[in-house]
Amino acid sequence: MSVLSPVASIGRATLSLLASLGRIAIFAVQVVGHIFRPPFYPREFLSALMQIGWFSLPVVGMTALFTGGALALQIYAGGARYGAEAAVPSITAIGMVRELGPVLGGLMVAARVTSSIAAEIGTMKVTEQIDALVTLSTNPLKYLAVPRVVAAVLVMPILVAVGDSIGIAGGWLVGVNQLGFNSAAYLQNTVNFLEFWDVASGLVKGAAFGFIIALMGVFHGMNSGRGAQGVGAATKSAVVAASVLILAANFLLTRVFFTS
């Protein structure tokens, strides 16, 4: 084995990563390019809205409820060291709407939706359904990718808003029932503290995460390998890529929104 072998391996891995990022970027540009050009497929769009939005509500709601409750407990315990227990309502609210609502909601929807899209489209690929679409004069990007991506971008901010509300409610439940806060004062404190941009920044993040969630599902599904193993690998890659990209995008967006 040559002394340079590890360097060559790192180089190959780096080139492979860059090539993948390049392919994803080109794919994203193609999908966006198709969004505004007919034909449009309203039935597929409505179906995607239901699949991505409505059916994700329980998982997003449960995640937010428990996260809000745990956050209130942690802030209370931490705040007690400085005599700052009163900050529980405000910090729970800001933590939920700016960070935990969009990020945890995004990750949960990625686990549920990205995997489902990648598996469905991967199966369509290996059973020649995507080839069949082409022979039926239907562009697979327009028919499969655009409705899912647009639906995810539109519905994720709504899911984040619902998650934010339920998360704050989770904090309120714990605050009032376990930590001894007055109910009205807790809610008043929350409302007074939150600013428009706190909430809006989370919703913008939600839209960006929605784009990532659907794009990764469609991209990896359409590039799935052969057979059940190929579809399984595509599904795994899609969820991993979506999760990592959500966290990376969250960092970048937070930096852009809150460090100026």
Partner 1 sequence: MIELSDVHKKFGSNRVLQGVDLVIPKATSMVIIGGSGTGKSVLLKSVLGLVRPDSGTITLDGQDVTTGDRDAFLARFGMLFQGGALFDSLRVWENVAFRLLRGERKLPKPQAREIAIEKLRRVGLKPETADQFPAELSGGMQKRVGLARAIAAEPEIIFFDEPTTGLDPIMSGVINDLIREIVTEMGATAMTITHDMTSVRAIADNVAMLHGGKIRWTGPVSELDATDDPYVQQFIHGRADGPIESVR
Positions in the binding site for partner 1 (CB under 8 A): 39, 47, 124, 127-129, 131-132, 134-138
Which residue number, 25 or 134, has a Cβ lying nearer to partner 1?
134
Which residue number, 143 or 257, has a Cβ lying nearer to partner 1?
143
Which residue number, 127 or 182, has a Cβ lying nearer to partner 1?
127
Q: How far is the CB of 127 from partner 1 (least distance, A)?
A: 6
| One-letter identity of residue 151 | A
Which residue number, 2 or 137, has a Cβ lying nearer to partner 1?
137
Q: How far is the CB of 138 from partner 1 (least distance, A)?
A: 7
Instruction: Tokens for 203, please give them.
Output: 């919703």
Q: How far is the CB of 124 from partner 1 (least distance, A)?
A: 8
Q: How far is the CB of 226 from partner 1 (least distance, A)?
A: 11
**CA 221 vs CA 121, 162, 258: distances in Å:** 5, 29, 35
Q: How far is the CB of 133 from partner 1 (least distance, A)?
A: 8
CA 40-155-113 angle, 5° bins: 90
Which residue number, 50 or 84, has a Cβ lying nearer to partner 1?
50
